[in-house]
Amino acid sequence: MRSNATSADQPTKPASGWQTMMRVGPYLWPADQPWVRHRVMMALGFLLAAKMVSIVTPYIYKLAVDMLSQEAANDPAWMLTLGAVGLTVAYGMARLGAVVFGELRDAVFVRVGQRALRKLALETFTHIHRLSLRYHITRKTGGLSRVIERGVKGVDFLLRFMLFSIGPLILELSMVSIIFAVVFGWQYAAVVVVTIALYVAFTFKVTEIRVRIRRQMNDQDADANQKAIDSLLNYETVKYFNAEGREASRYDAAMQGYETAAVKTGQSLAFLNAGQSFLITSGLIIVMVMAARGVQAGTLTVGDFVMVNAYMIQITMPLNFLGTVYREIRQALVDMGEMFGLLGQPAEVVDAPDARPLAVSGGEIVFDDVRFSYEPSREILKGVSFRVAPGERLALVGHSGSGKSTIARLMFRFYDVTGGAIRIDGQDLREVTQGSIHASIGVVPQDTVLFNDTILYNIAYGKDGATEAEIVAAARAARIHDFIVSLPDGYDTRVGERGLKLSGGEKQRVGIARTLLKNPPILILDEATSALDTQTEKSIQESLNEMGQGRSVIMIAHRLSTIADADQILVMEEGRVIERGRHEDLVARGGRYAAMWAQQVAEEAAEAA
């Protein structure tokens, strides 16, 4: 299970249109959910019924006309008994029937569609959480959620329009062509088919061009918008430099681009509509002239003439939306392709097929010549080895960027090592499940990020189903309880986006509280108290020490006084351990640690004075 550093660098590859459509299929025809299949069958049944009814409607209309124009001599006997009035009523019922069946179809299908959308959204969401930290650092989070949103919308659109607009349209066109061919002769069908073919070709062609113009228009719009926002954000700067005039002309230049593109959009729409109308009307006139001549020659009735017209109107009505539908479908395919591309993105860190849960007995941690690089070209850890005996406290110190937080990330298996091995109680991290590692290790990260919710929610996050008493106990231990109750809203205070309404130290203590609540056998503190004043730090340190009793702890610290009593101190430099030992030994040795210690003691003395 070696990590593949290059995979995350490649952009997500969108799936092709056809692949994308095939991906949706299983959601509409799931093997394990018969009710979905039943509903789909029912919806298709209603669809067919609606089309059948709408196909006979013009025929009934024709019969009524024939009846009224006394040409019904050779019509079936049952029709004569129905009479002209009866036929007219039947015509009305048929029209109503087509609508009712159509609505029934929608009502039955909506549940299938919505369930498919929900499943897809959930699958994508869970998949995104499975992707590596590396992936998430490189992608913009807002972009990811927009991919889901747009993708799901795309699927929704495609379902509705492919199944209930394009599909029925094709069905109806074929049926009408067949009726024309059988009843009036192949020439009629040929005219219809050619007309529709020309219409579709014209519409697609012009729409392609319009899509490009539309994109230009949107770009120009975004550009103008951005200039306006930037200018308003810099309100003060604009005033300082007397630049209102300059800003206005910059904005106007951007708006001018938009105007040009918008005019082109409007004009091309007019062209599209006119062209469509021309083609359809030509086809209509040709068929109607043919029918008129048939009536004159006595081979067709007036009812036939009317029926031809009714069919033509019926099939051309939905064609009006073809341009829009085509454009939207193309957009939907692009959006869905992006989402399925994301779903196809492999997770970098995956459980081995035979992975077992991590069994923590004492909590021994062993780093065995660990090598690691985020990017192949730059090695961050260059052979780090250490052992934390069960219940021991290990401290990592060293310059910024020497790889301390990286060690914590590897322990939590955000990444797999590129060389060597990490073992907890003798089990290689790559051979156990990620879930069990995450459950066994508590991390207070270097910078705590909070959910945009209440303080209570954020602390309770540490343990599913935590009681109020447990939460308060954790908050007390993290020395934040008194602060919380002093707030007007107490534990129900909202912390704002990413917790920005709290100070750095308050956030850090909330982070400590929720890890205390999690109560894991192994604890990693990455500068957990760096944002606190010395007084608060001392007092939290006590409760962290209490909590550390009987657990293995890895502490990362800048302020050496907080780790002076650790069982083992490692001094890191550029991905290597350059010194190790207990505080007294390291000070006595007079190496790098001793120098750092002397400097901090001097600084503290200066501060005190």
Ligand X SMILES: Nc1ncnc2c1ncn2[C@@H]1O[C@H](COP(=O)(O)OP(=O)(O)OP(=O)(O)O)[C@@H](O)[C@H]1O
Binds 406: which of ligand X, Mg ion, none (CB < 5-8 Å by kind): ligand X
Span from 96-104, 107-115, 305-313, 444-452 in contact with Mg ion (CB under 5 A): 444-452
Minimal distance in Å, beta carbon 570 to Mg ion?
14
Task: State yes or no: residue 446 binds ligand X (CB under 6 A).
Answer: yes
Task: State yes or no: residue 404 binds ligand X (CB under 6 A).
Answer: yes
Minimal distance in Å, beta carbon 403 to Mg ion?
8
Minimal distance in Å, beta carbon 545 to ligand X?
22
Residue whose CB is less far from ligand X, 106 or 573: 573
Span from 240-248, 285-293, 337-345, 372-380 in contact with ligand X (CB under 6 A): 372-380
Nearest one of 307, 309, 312, 57 to 199, comparing CA atoms = 312
Span from 33-41, 394-402, 536-544, 592-600 in contact with ligand X (CB under 6 A): 394-402
Span from 67-75, 144-152, 400-408, 500-508 in contact with ligand X (CB under 6 A): 400-408
Contacts of 391 (CB under 8 A, 6+ apart): 362, 363, 549, 550, 551, 552
* Contact characters 549-588, Mg ion, x per CB under 5 A: ----------------------------------------
Minimal distance in Å, beta carbon 380 to ligand X?
4
Binds 373: which of ligand X, Mg ion, none (CB < 5-8 Å by kind): none
Span from 103-111, 123-131, 285-293, 439-447 in contact with Mg ion (CB under 5 A): 439-447
Cβ–Cβ under 8 Å, residues 459 and 476:
no
Alpha-carbon separation of residue 247 from 254, 259, 603 (angstroms): 11, 18, 51
Binds 380: which of ligand X, Mg ion, none (CB < 5-8 Å by kind): ligand X
Task: State yes or no: residue 266 binds ligand X (CB under 6 A).
Answer: no
Report helix, strand or coil for 391. Answer: coil
Minimal distance in Å, beta carbon 239 to ligand X?
39
Structure tokens at 351: 């459980």
Nearest one of 362, 358, 367, 371 to 431, comparing CA atoms = 358
Task: State yes or no: residue 380 binds ligand X (CB under 6 A).
Answer: yes
Residues in a beta bridge with 393: 553
As a whole number of angstroms, the distance between CA 412 and CA 133 comes to: 11
Minimal distance in Å, beta carbon 404 to Mg ion?
5
Q: Find the binder of Mg ion among 33, 405, 427, 561 (CB under 5 A).
A: 405
β-strand pairing of 393-398 with 568-573: parallel
As a whole number of angstroms, the distance between CA 400 and CA 557 comes to: 11
Task: State yes or no: residue 77 binds ligand X (CB under 6 A).
Answer: no
Structure tokens at 572: 């890191």
Q: Find the binder of ligand X among 12, 20, 276, 406 (CB under 6 A).
A: 406
Task: State yes or no: residue 401 binds ligand X (CB under 6 A).
Answer: yes
Q: Which residues of 217-238 are buried (b: 16+ CB within 10 A; e: fewer)?
A: beebbeebeebeeebeeeeeee
Report helix, strand or coil for 369. Answer: strand
Binds 520: which of Mg ion, ligand X, none (CB < 5-8 Å by kind): none
Task: State yes or no: residue 6 binds ligand X (CB under 6 A).
Answer: no
Strands lying side by side in the sheet with 552-556:
441-444, 522-526, 552-556, 393-398, 568-573, 576-581
Nearest one of 453, 448, 474 to 462, comparing CA atoms = 474
Q: Find the binder of ligand X among 400, 486, 535, 549 (CB under 6 A).
A: 400
Task: State yes or no: residue 403 binds ligand X (CB under 6 A).
Answer: yes
Cβ–Cβ under 8 Å, residues 499 and 448:
yes
How many Cα atoms within 13 Å fall on the side-chain side of residue 345?
32
Minimal distance in Å, beta carbon 445 to Mg ion?
9
Task: State yes or no: residue 576 binds ligand X (CB under 6 A).
Answer: no
Binds 19: which of ligand X, Mg ion, none (CB < 5-8 Å by kind): none
As a whole number of angstroms, the distance between CA 240 and CA 233 comes to: 13
Minimal distance in Å, beta carbon 403 to ligand X?
4
Binds 12: which of ligand X, Mg ion, none (CB < 5-8 Å by kind): none
Task: State yes or no: residue 374 binds Mg ion (CB under 5 A).
Answer: no
Residue whose CB is less far from Mg ion, 193 or 524: 524
Binds 191: which of ligand X, Mg ion, none (CB < 5-8 Å by kind): none
Task: State yes or no: residue 445 binds ligand X (CB under 6 A).
Answer: no
Q: Which residues of 342-364 are buried (b: 16+ CB within 10 A; e: fewer)?
A: bbebeebbebeeebeebebeebb
As a whole number of angstroms, the distance between CA 70 and CA 89 comes to: 18
- Element spanning 386, H or E: strand 381-388
Tell which positions 111-150 bind ligand X, by CB under 6 A: 137
Q: Find the binder of ligand X among 374, 386, 461, 597 (CB under 6 A).
A: 374
Structure tokens at 130: 């499975």
Residue whose CB is less far from ligand X, 55 or 570: 570
As a whole number of angstroms, the distance between CA 91 and CA 53 comes to: 10
Query: Which amino acid is present at 546?
Result: E
Residue whose CB is less far from Mg ion, 309 or 446: 446
Q: Which residues of 483-513 are buried (b: 16+ CB within 10 A; e: fewer)?
A: bbeeeeeebeeebeeebeebeebbbbbbbbb
Q: Find the binder of ligand X among 12, 132, 195, 402 (CB under 6 A).
A: 402
Residues in a beta bridge with 581: 569
Q: Find the binder of ligand X among 19, 405, 452, 536 (CB under 6 A).
A: 405
Binds 374: which of Mg ion, ligand X, none (CB < 5-8 Å by kind): ligand X
Residue whose CB is less far from Mg ion, 159 or 396: 396
Minimal distance in Å, beta carbon 376 to Mg ion?
22
Footprint on this chain of ligand X (rule: CB under 6 A): 137, 374-375, 380, 400-406, 446
Footprint on this chain of Mg ion (rule: CB under 5 A): 405, 446
